[in-house]
Every structure is written in structure tokens, then in C-alpha cells.
Amino acid sequence: MRKAFTLIELLIAITILSIMMLFLYKSYASLNRSNSFYKKEVTSLKHETLIKKVIFLDFSLAVNNSISILNQGKKEDIVLMQSSHSLHKRYNPYIAYIMKNSELYRLESLKRLTYPLGVGSEFSVDYIGEVDGFRTYTSSKEIEDVFLVHVNFKNEDDILLKIKVLEGS
């Protein structure tokens, strides 16, 4: 009757344990890669959803036909409006969407915004993103207060929203 393991048995046990640890490590490394990939994707979707929500609420809560669109070229519009939606806790703020140097900005002010912006203009600026184009189209006379907003991002998916201004805003 023997009371100890032989050297061969110990070497076999260590080899089996090493192989198991190797597979566990590879699984753990793969899980970390997949988690970082999905975290990046979720962050991107969250950012895109937030931009869609802001644009949708600005247009749909516009006050009394206050939306004016100034065409600046094939890929660029400037939109001026008054909306009951505010990101900066203002009551019925004036909002402008302006594209400058391939970057889209949302301006919010208590005072009416005009383009070009005056020296004394006071507003809060929200950066939307780097874009190739920002266009806003109005509907025909039969269907009033419907807008098509197209934001063509450089490194992200485009946003295309059809928005109807709510009644009684």
C-alpha cells in the first residue's frame, strides 16, 4: 500500500491543470474584448438617441409657426425657432441650429436669435457633432408644420427625422 503520488502522476496533474488554466484565461480575455466592444456600441447608440430626442423635441414643441430655415448651400441650413423645449431650464427659449467648420451646434437663448449672430448675443451652446451636412425640409402647403431633418454625420450613422409640430404649442 502506497501513501504518495508518483512523479509521473504529479506531472500529469500539473499538465491538465495548466491546460485548463490556459483555456480559462483565453475565455476571460475574449470576454473582456467583447465587453469593451459592446460598451463602445452602447455609448454610441446612447449618444445618437440623445441627439434624436433633442432635435425631435425642439421641432415638435415649436411655438406658433416660429421655425425659419435659412439655406446656406447644398449641404447646410440654419434653423431658427422658438420652442417650449429647453436643455438649460429656460421658458420658451429661442433655438438655432448652426453648422460652422463642419460642426453642428445648437444654440439656446432667452432673446430672439438672428443670423448672422450679433456681438451682444447671449446664448448657451451645445455641440451636436462633426457633420458633412445639415438640411431641413418643409412640407408642402397641404400638410402644414411637418419637417424632414437630415443630419449627415462624418463618423456616425445619419439621422433622418420626420417631425410634425404639435398643435397648441
Report the DSSP pairing between strands 124-138 and 103-109: antiparallel
Does any domain span residue 48? yes
Q: How far apart are CA 34 and CA 92, in angstroms?
A: 44
Does any domain span residue 1? no
End-to-end Cα spacing for the chain = 93
Look up the domain containing 85 and give its range: 8-169
pLDDT reported for residue 168: 55
pLDDT reported for residue 169: 45
Closest to 153 (Cα-Cα) out of 40, 48, 71, 31: 48
Does any domain span residue 2? no
Q: List the helix and strand counts (H, then E) for the chain.
A: 1, 7
Q: How far apart are CA 98 and CA 106, in angstroms?
A: 7
pLDDT in tens, 67-77: 889 998 888 99
pLDDT reported for residue 142: 65
> Helix or strand or coil: residue 161?
strand
Does any domain span residue 111? yes
Q: How many domains does the chain have?
A: 1
Does any domain span residue 3? no
Burial of 121 (0-12, 13-18, 19+ CB in 10 A): middle
Length reported for the chain: 169
pLDDT reported for residue 1: 66
pLDDT string in tens for the chain (169-residue length): 677 888 898 999 999 999 999 999 999 999 999 999 999 999 888 988 999 999 999 999 998 888 889 998 888 999 999 999 999 998 999 999 999 999 999 999 998 888 888 777 788 999 999 999 999 998 876 667 889 999 999 888 889 999 988 865 4
pLDDT reported for residue 119: 78
pLDDT reported for residue 121: 78
Q: How far apart are CA 27 and CA 114, in angstroms?
A: 58
